[in-house]
Amino acid sequence: MRRASFVLAVSSVLAAALPGLPVQAQVTAGQGDAGHGRKLFLADGCYQCHGTSGEGGGVFGPKLAPAPLSYEAVLQQLRSPRARMPVYTAKVLPDAGAADIYAYLRSIPKAKPASEIPLLNLK
């Protein structure tokens, strides 16, 4: 954490688990494996900036879940990222992996409202 000025909106995945996956040219959101997506998400990558439930990491990574953007928008952000998020090419993250991660993000349930959490209503 030495270079504290580095502010990064990063989405990342564990590429180590990916090379064995078949590359699917056309993958849609509904085809993803949420369980595998969670493994990819947590193993070493995405959660670093976005949190284990995609809740976001402040200025370091925006909230991804629940209710993520459309799969197309997520894939677009991975392949041609805006802001300071690094690029994730299909070589590093095949479409199948991206779809699995997206399935995981979609599977994350809605959070309890703040009004029902006493610690978030402290004066």
Partner 1 sequence: MEDQANLGLRRRNFLKGAALSGVAATATAASTLAQAQPGPSQQGTSDPNTPRRQGAVTLKDESTPRNRELTYSSCGGDYMVDVMRSLGIEYFAATPGNTFMGLHEAIINYGMTTAPNLRFLTTMHEEASVAMAHGYAKIEGKPMACGMHTAVGLQHASMAIYNAWCDRVPVFMITGASIDATRRNLWVDWDHAAQDGAAMVRDYTKWDDQPGSLRAFGDSAVRAYKFAMTPPYGPTLLAVDTLMQEDPIPGDKPPPIPRLPSLSAPAAEEGAVRDTAKMLVEAENPVIFADRCARTPEGLRLLVELAEALQAPVIDSSNRLNFPWRHPLNQTASQRGLISRADVLLELEPGDPFAVSAERSPDGEVRSLMQSGSKRITISSVDLYMKSNYQDFQRLPLDVDLAMAADAQATLPSLIEEVKRQLPDSRKAAIAARGTRFAHTHQLALQRARDAATYGWDDSPISMPRLCQELYAEIKDEDWSLVSGTLFQSHWPQQLWSADKHYQYIGEQGGAGIGYTAPATLGAALANQKHGRLSVCINGDGDLMFGPGVLWTAAHEKIPLLYIIHNNRGYHMEIMQLQAIADRRQRGIDRVHIGCEIANPNIDYAMLARSMGVYGQGPIDNPRDLGPAIRRAIEVVKKGEPALIDVVSQGR
Residue ranges in contact with partner 1 by CB under 8 A: 1-6, 8, 10, 12-19, 44-45, 47-49, 51-61, 63, 65-66, 82-89, 91-92, 111-114, 117, 119-123
Residue closer to partner 1 by CB (options 30, 86) is 86
Closest CA to 76 of 51, 56, 95, 53: 95
Residue 51 and residue 41: Cα distance in Å, rounded? 9
Q: Residue 119 Cβ, how far from partner 1 at the closest point, in Å?
A: 4
DSSP 123: -
Residue 33 and residue 17: Cα distance in Å, rounded? 14
Q: Residue 97 Cβ, how far from partner 1 at the closest point, in Å?
A: 11
Cβ atoms within 10 Å of 100's Cβ, excluding its own: 27
Q: Residue 41 Cβ, how far from partner 1 at the closest point, in Å?
A: 13
Residue closer to partner 1 by CB (options 35, 87) is 87
